[in-house]
Amino acid sequence: MIYFIYFVISFLVVWFSLKCAKYVDLIDKKTDLSGAFIGGIILAAVTSLPELITSFSSIVIVDNAELVLGNILGSNIFNLSVLGLGIVFSYKKFISSKISSSHMKTIPITIIIYILIITSLFIISASIFSVNISSIIILILYILSIKFLSNNDLNTSENDDIIEDTSKLTIKQIITRFIIMAISLIIASIFITYTTDIIATKLNMGSTLAGALFLGIATSLPELSSSIALIKMGNFNATIGNIIGSNMFNFLILFISDILYSKGSIYIKTKEVSSLVIFGLISSIFIGITLFLKSKKIESKFLYTLIASISVLCYFAFLIFSI
């Protein structure tokens, strides 16, 4: 019964996310806001609400800090694999899309954050007022990433092929419906946390692995479904902004969780966390290489397929090394 409930809630999360993606795309078409900003901040924040709510629930309600790192890092590496698959299977749309240069600035930030987490886990872990220094630096880097994503370096004429507006809804109607879907997404996310904790106990599964698999995947369904929807709409710039922005927002959740958790550090070293952070770093690097090649206008399908596929393989490598 619990598994049936899990899949029903997961379905609702996907449906609410698709609706959010639809309204975000309409906002993109009806305003002159940067696609990177819309995807990287507005949509990313909404699709990352499940991670925020589940992490909060893991600490405050379930009292299981190990779920947090598994949830965040598991979600991030899954998101990167989704982006990798999107590039591989929608190569033509990716090549023809105008991609904001701001993404090339935010990817290095995600790499730096992975290095910070590795430092806290394997080398040295220092705190200020019970908050890990790495968490404080993550907050600073997130604020910096917002500055980059807010920069619209793609003008309207360059995007006429992807911003044709055919909707009769007003911007006020779109925003209202977007907010309703976002609230519904939050409610569904709370229930996902409870069902995941029950499943983890039922299967006698480690908290970190359970967080990475059941919470990480379930809370990444918004990114998955919204990214698929945006790719179908031909809006690859917002898709990349959604994935990278969601990962950045997820890292911010580590800072929030670190403040909330008073019983110790959330940076708990386990075999699963080690795999997640190492393969997450590798995946981020190769996504960065893919975007760099795109910025240089290289159009080798084989090269993009090879490099983007590595981000997908990193997710499976994490699963293999975590068993």
- Burial class of residue 1 (count of CB atoms within 10 Å of its CB; 0-12, 13-18, 19+): exposed
- If you average pLDDT over residues 103-127, what whole number do you get? 91
Q: Comparing C-alpha atoms, which of 118, 86, 81, 115 is closest to residue 319? A: 81
Which band of pLDDT confidence, cut at 50, 70 and 90, is reported for residue 156? very low
Cα of 10 vs its chain's centroid, Å: 16
Q: State residue 163's pLDDT score.
A: 46
- CA distances, 316 to each of 18, 73, 81, 89, 199 (Å): 26, 14, 9, 18, 22
Residue 189 has pLDDT above 90, yes or no: no
Q: What percent of the chain has pLDDT over 90?
A: 28
Residue 158 vs residue 171, higher pLDDT: 171
Q: What is the predicted pLDDT for the residue at 107?
A: 92
What is the SS3 assignment for 268?
coil
Which pLDDT does position 34 carry in this prediction? 56
| pLDDT higher than threshold 70 for residue 98 | yes
Residue 53 has pLDDT above 90, yes or no: no
Can you read off the two tokens belonging to residue 18? 């698709």
Chain segment 266-290, per-residue pLDDT in tens = 898 888 889 999 999 999 999 999 9
- Under the banding of pLDDT at 50, 70 and 90, the label for residue 210 is low
How much is the average pLDDT of 54-68? 78
**Average of per-residue pLDDT across 178-198:** 80
SS3 300: coil
What domains are there in the chain, each with its CATH number? 2-322 (1.20.1420.30)
Angle at 154 between CA 149 and CA 160, to 5 degrees: 130
Please report the pLDDT score of residue 182 as a whole number: 82
Least confident of 135-149, 203-217, 226-240: 203-217
**Residues facing 128 on adjacent strands:** 131
Q: Output Rg (C-alpha) for the chain, integer angstroms.
A: 19
This prediction's pTM: 0.80
d(CA 60, CA 213) in angstroms, rounded, equals 21
For residue 315, pLDDT over 70 is answered with yes
